[in-house]
Amino acid sequence: MQKITPFLWFDTQAEDAMKFYTSVFKNSKAGVVTHYGEAGPALKGTVMTASFELEGLQFTALNGGPHVQFNHAISMLITCESQEEVDYYWDRLGAGGKVMECGWVTDKFGVAWQVIPAVLMELLRDPDREKANRVMQAMLQMVKIDIATLQQAAKG
Protein backbone atom coordinates (compact mmCIF):
# COMPACT_ATOMS: atom_id res chain seq x y z
CA MET A 1 0.00 0.00 0.00
CA GLN A 2 1.17 3.50 -0.87
CA LYS A 3 2.09 5.47 2.29
CA ILE A 4 1.27 8.95 0.95
CA THR A 5 -1.76 9.51 -1.30
CA PRO A 6 -2.62 12.79 -3.05
CA PHE A 7 -6.07 13.79 -1.77
CA LEU A 8 -7.89 16.23 -4.05
CA TRP A 9 -10.79 18.35 -2.73
CA PHE A 10 -13.64 19.04 -5.15
CA ASP A 11 -16.99 20.72 -4.66
CA THR A 12 -19.20 18.01 -6.20
CA GLN A 13 -17.08 16.69 -9.10
CA ALA A 14 -14.99 13.93 -7.47
CA GLU A 15 -16.49 11.10 -9.51
CA ASP A 16 -16.38 13.16 -12.73
CA ALA A 17 -12.71 13.96 -12.05
CA MET A 18 -11.94 10.28 -11.47
CA LYS A 19 -13.60 9.36 -14.79
CA PHE A 20 -11.82 12.18 -16.63
CA TYR A 21 -8.33 11.40 -15.29
CA THR A 22 -8.68 7.66 -15.90
CA SER A 23 -9.72 8.43 -19.49
CA VAL A 24 -6.65 10.66 -20.04
CA PHE A 25 -3.98 8.41 -18.53
CA LYS A 26 -3.62 5.10 -20.37
CA ASN A 27 -2.13 3.30 -17.38
CA SER A 28 -4.97 4.01 -14.96
CA LYS A 29 -7.95 2.49 -13.24
CA ALA A 30 -10.97 3.66 -11.33
CA GLY A 31 -11.27 2.56 -7.73
CA VAL A 32 -13.91 2.67 -5.06
CA VAL A 33 -16.63 5.32 -4.88
CA THR A 34 -18.07 5.96 -1.42
CA HIS A 35 -21.25 7.87 -0.58
CA TYR A 36 -22.34 10.10 2.25
CA GLY A 37 -24.65 8.50 4.79
CA GLU A 38 -27.11 9.84 7.33
CA ALA A 39 -24.43 11.73 9.29
CA GLY A 40 -23.61 14.06 6.37
CA PRO A 41 -22.26 16.68 5.97
CA ALA A 42 -23.57 16.34 2.38
CA LEU A 43 -26.85 14.82 1.25
CA LYS A 44 -27.25 11.12 1.95
CA GLY A 45 -26.38 9.05 -1.11
CA THR A 46 -24.22 11.68 -2.84
CA VAL A 47 -20.63 10.80 -3.71
CA MET A 48 -18.20 11.40 -0.86
CA THR A 49 -14.94 10.01 -2.31
CA ALA A 50 -13.70 8.43 -5.50
CA SER A 51 -10.37 6.64 -5.56
CA PHE A 52 -8.32 6.02 -8.68
CA GLU A 53 -4.84 5.13 -9.87
CA LEU A 54 -2.79 7.01 -12.48
CA GLU A 55 0.51 5.53 -13.65
CA GLY A 56 0.79 3.48 -10.47
CA LEU A 57 0.01 6.38 -8.11
CA GLN A 58 -3.11 6.19 -5.94
CA PHE A 59 -5.33 9.30 -5.64
CA THR A 60 -8.47 10.05 -3.68
CA ALA A 61 -10.97 12.70 -4.73
CA LEU A 62 -13.30 14.13 -2.08
CA ASN A 63 -16.52 16.03 -2.56
CA GLY A 64 -16.00 18.43 0.31
CA GLY A 65 -17.98 21.42 -0.91
CA PRO A 66 -17.04 24.79 -2.38
CA HIS A 67 -15.03 25.99 0.63
CA VAL A 68 -11.61 25.12 -0.80
CA GLN A 69 -10.32 25.94 -4.28
CA PHE A 70 -7.26 24.56 -6.06
CA ASN A 71 -4.29 26.84 -6.65
CA HIS A 72 -0.83 26.45 -8.18
CA ALA A 73 0.98 25.94 -4.89
CA ILE A 74 0.53 22.22 -5.56
CA SER A 75 0.72 20.75 -9.06
CA MET A 76 1.05 17.37 -10.73
CA LEU A 77 4.19 16.93 -12.85
CA ILE A 78 3.96 14.67 -15.90
CA THR A 79 7.38 13.71 -17.26
CA CYS A 80 7.02 13.06 -21.00
CA GLU A 81 9.42 11.15 -23.24
CA SER A 82 8.42 12.73 -26.57
CA GLN A 83 6.74 15.74 -28.15
CA GLU A 84 3.85 13.47 -29.05
CA GLU A 85 3.36 12.66 -25.36
CA VAL A 86 3.62 16.36 -24.39
CA ASP A 87 0.99 17.20 -27.02
CA TYR A 88 -1.28 14.35 -25.86
CA TYR A 89 -1.42 15.42 -22.21
CA TRP A 90 -1.43 19.13 -23.03
CA ASP A 91 -4.42 18.81 -25.34
CA ARG A 92 -6.46 16.57 -23.06
CA LEU A 93 -5.77 18.22 -19.72
CA GLY A 94 -6.08 21.70 -21.20
CA ALA A 95 -9.48 21.02 -22.78
CA GLY A 96 -11.93 23.15 -20.83
CA GLY A 97 -9.15 24.41 -18.61
CA LYS A 98 -6.53 27.11 -18.90
CA VAL A 99 -3.08 26.94 -20.48
CA MET A 100 -0.28 28.87 -18.84
CA GLU A 101 3.37 29.56 -19.49
CA CYS A 102 6.30 27.20 -19.14
CA GLY A 103 4.38 23.96 -19.63
CA TRP A 104 1.69 24.54 -17.00
CA VAL A 105 -1.97 23.83 -17.64
CA THR A 106 -4.96 23.94 -15.31
CA ASP A 107 -7.59 21.34 -16.14
CA LYS A 108 -11.36 21.87 -16.17
CA PHE A 109 -11.50 21.10 -12.44
CA GLY A 110 -8.80 23.62 -11.53
CA VAL A 111 -6.00 21.11 -10.85
CA ALA A 112 -2.60 22.38 -12.05
CA TRP A 113 -0.40 20.11 -14.16
CA GLN A 114 3.13 20.58 -15.45
CA VAL A 115 3.54 18.81 -18.79
CA ILE A 116 7.31 18.62 -19.08
CA PRO A 117 9.55 16.61 -21.42
CA ALA A 118 12.33 14.69 -19.65
CA VAL A 119 14.85 16.29 -22.01
CA LEU A 120 14.14 19.72 -20.49
CA MET A 121 15.41 18.62 -17.09
CA GLU A 122 18.44 16.93 -18.68
CA LEU A 123 19.33 20.09 -20.60
CA LEU A 124 18.87 22.32 -17.55
CA ARG A 125 21.28 20.10 -15.57
CA ASP A 126 23.92 20.23 -18.30
CA PRO A 127 27.36 21.12 -16.84
CA ASP A 128 27.73 23.67 -19.66
CA ARG A 129 25.98 26.53 -17.86
CA GLU A 130 25.76 28.70 -20.99
CA LYS A 131 23.92 25.89 -22.75
CA ALA A 132 21.60 25.38 -19.76
CA ASN A 133 20.92 29.14 -19.62
CA ARG A 134 19.99 29.23 -23.33
CA VAL A 135 17.57 26.37 -22.74
CA MET A 136 16.06 28.17 -19.73
CA GLN A 137 15.61 31.37 -21.74
CA ALA A 138 13.90 29.43 -24.53
CA MET A 139 11.61 27.62 -22.09
CA LEU A 140 10.60 30.90 -20.43
CA GLN A 141 9.24 32.10 -23.79
CA MET A 142 7.02 29.03 -24.23
CA VAL A 143 3.50 28.18 -23.25
CA LYS A 144 3.47 24.49 -24.26
CA ILE A 145 7.00 23.10 -24.18
CA ASP A 146 8.48 22.37 -27.61
CA ILE A 147 11.34 19.88 -27.56
CA ALA A 148 12.79 20.87 -30.94
CA THR A 149 13.07 24.51 -29.83
CA LEU A 150 14.77 23.44 -26.60
CA GLN A 151 17.27 21.33 -28.51
CA GLN A 152 17.95 24.18 -30.92
CA ALA A 153 18.58 26.54 -27.99
CA ALA A 154 20.97 23.98 -26.49
CA LYS A 155 22.98 23.95 -29.72
CA GLY A 156 23.20 27.72 -29.70
Task: Supply the pLDDT for residue 136.
Answer: 98
Secondary structure in 3-state letters for the chain? CCCCCCEEEECCCHHHHHHHHHHHCCCEEEEEEEECCCCCCCCCCCEEEEEEEECCEEEEEEECCCCCCCCCCCEEEEEECCHHHHHHHHHHHHCCCEECCCCEEECCCCCEEEEEEHHHHHHHCCCCHHHHHHHHHHHHCCCCCCHHHHHHHHHC
pLDDT of res. 36: 96
CA distance 104 to 125: 20
Distance CA 104, CA 31 (A): 27
pLDDT value for 92: 98
pTM (predicted TM-score): 0.93
Order of all β-strands in the sheet with 112-117: 75-80, 112-117, 104-106, 98-99
**Residue 151: predicted pLDDT:** 98
Output the pLDDT for position 9: 96
pLDDT of residue 40: 80
Successive 10-residue mean pLDDT values, the chain, 156 residues: 94 98 98 94 94 98 94 95 98 97 97 98 97 98 98 97
From 27, 33, 29, 28, select the one nearest 10 (Cα to Cα). 33
**What pLDDT, on the 0 to 100 scale, is given for residue 1?**
79
Residue 37's pLDDT is what?
A: 95
